[in-house]
Structure 1
């Protein structure tokens, strides 16, 4: 049998731990968050099934790095969600992508760079020097495109 312990004395600020102890290190750390959205699109100049209007349940994974703040947080996951909801998802979820994205062939390869650019733009002037390290865009559970900082920045 596995036992469990009930915590009887919660750690208290200024009694058991002090403010200056909350930040354990000064290293760059990556946090990651994923989202899904449903959208329709079709591809131009493509001979295959995808030239026809069809849809996907996409999955996006963000990898964002930064330095921890005074209490040991790089970026609150809720802030990543807020950027996603207000600045990116509104252009994607339950939309016809050929209509809502800039003029491009709506391939996963093009879309992942657009998503990267939108998130990078949202992180400008972040106090913890947050930046996008990678974005993965899954078009199906087994097929994805990826944009990485070193690829996008060095072009």
Structure 2
């Protein structure tokens, strides 16, 4: 049977744990953050119901890898959120994607590459050798397109 423990002595830096102990390893690790947005679009040269104006609640998932810093972080989740909010979401959320994205057919396949390029550009020069590993863009809960680093850099 499992018991519950009440913490009586909260661990203190330099008293209970030393600063050099905060980073447990020196391995590359990937963190992931997920965002949702609502948008409308339609597809050109497509013979199906998506040729008509319609909307989706999209989900974008970003996988970012890097080496942990002196306190054990690759990148702060809040930093990923800031990049998303300021550089990507502003072009997507509650927008008509055919107007706000570069000239393209607004397929999930085209949009995921655009999202990849925007996040990759924002991460350039980030500490800890951060790099974008993948972006997954869900158009529905069961349908997504994915862009991976190896595909973006090697064709």
TM-score tier after normalising by the smaller chain length? over 0.9
Look up the match of 2:89.
89
Is residue 2:18 matched to residue 1:18? Answer: yes
Q: 1:3, CA displacement in angstroms?
A: 2.6
Look up the match of 1:28.
28
1:20-99 to 2 correspondence within 5 Å?
20-99=20-99
Deviations 1:67-101 (A, max 9, x none): 10110000010110000000000000000000000
CA distance in 1 between counterparts of 2:125 and 2:20 reads 25
Q: CA RMSD in A?
A: 0.8
Query: How many residues matched?
Result: 155
- Structure 2 length-normalised TM: 0.98
Runs of 4+ in 1 over 3 A off after TM superposition: none
Q: What runs of 5+ residues in structure 2 fail to find an aligned partner? A: none
Q: What runs of 5+ residues in structure 1 fail to find an aligned partner? A: none
Look up the match of 2:101.
101
Residue aligned with 1:23, SS: coil
